[in-house]
Amino acid sequence: MGKVLVLYHSASGNTAAMARLVADGAGQIPGTEVRVREVEAATPDDVHWCDGLAVGSPTNMGVLSWRMKRFWDEAMFGHWGKVDGKVACAFSSAGGWGGGQEIACQSLQMVLMNFGFLVFGVTDYAGKITTCHYGAIAAREPREPEVRDACRRLGRRLAEWVAVVADGRRDQHPLAKPESRTLPG
């Protein structure tokens, strides 16, 4: 049974809304157990528990929020070197398009890589013009259908990789399920 953690910080609810969509997407893969944790309520046990995690933060000055950074700097510091090999991805909400969401995702990914996690991107498109190549992104609340779909796709892909990597379920490899993918053109 693949275990997915959706860990997020959200000051005003927008990244929290993304987290719920990411969790919905992860839940689309049968046999996946999904745990959603706000960062202040999260503990290192949540990270140890999971096989894969999606980490979300509001974009703050172009990077992850200090509260999310603090979780990895302080709560997780003593666990460094003990949680390697989990599948991981990122998502972020900013105040507007071009506000630095992808840079914030990269800053989250940098932290995740430092912990030895297997960070991935998504080639699929959500609708015609929306991707989550570097993580799911939103401008404020995820309202647009394509943005909501991108959040779900990220969570779904995370659960697929967890199924493949942690549980050896080759049937869940995205390339084995072309009917479930949407590529441009």
Ligand X SMILES: Cc1cc2nc3c(=O)[nH]c(=O)nc-3n(C[C@H](O)[C@H](O)[C@H](O)COP(=O)(O)O)c2cc1C
- The footprint of ligand X (CB under 6 A) covers 10-16, 58-62, 93-96, 99-100, 140
Whose CA is closest to 3, among 27, 22, 38, 39? Answer: 27
Minimum distance from CB of 19 to ligand X (Å)? Answer: 9
Could you give the CA distance from residue 131 to residue 137 in angstroms, rounded to a whole number? 9
Other beta carbons within 10 angstroms of residue 120's beta carbon come to 17
**Of 85 and 95, which CB lies nearer to ligand X in the complex structure?**
95
Return the beta strands (E) in the chain as ranges: 2-8, 32-38, 52-58, 87-94, 118-119, 125-126, 130-131, 136-139
Could you give the CA distance from residue 125 to residue 182 in angstroms, rounded to a whole number? 6
Could you give the CA distance from residue 36 to residue 46 in angstroms, rounded to a whole number? 9
Minimum distance from CB of 172 to ligand X (Å)? Answer: 30
Chain position whose Cβ is nearest to ligand X:
99
Both tokens of 159, joined, read 């659960």
Minimum distance from CB of 182 to ligand X (Å)? Answer: 26
**Of 14 and 130, which CB lies nearer to ligand X in the complex structure?**
14
**Of 29 and 42, which CB lies nearer to ligand X in the complex structure?**
42
**Of 17 and 111, which CB lies nearer to ligand X in the complex structure?**
17
Minimum distance from CB of 57 to ligand X (Å)? Answer: 8
Minimum distance from CB of 56 to ligand X (Å)? Answer: 8
Other beta carbons within 10 angstroms of residue 43's beta carbon come to 12
**Of 107 and 131, which CB lies nearer to ligand X in the complex structure?**
107
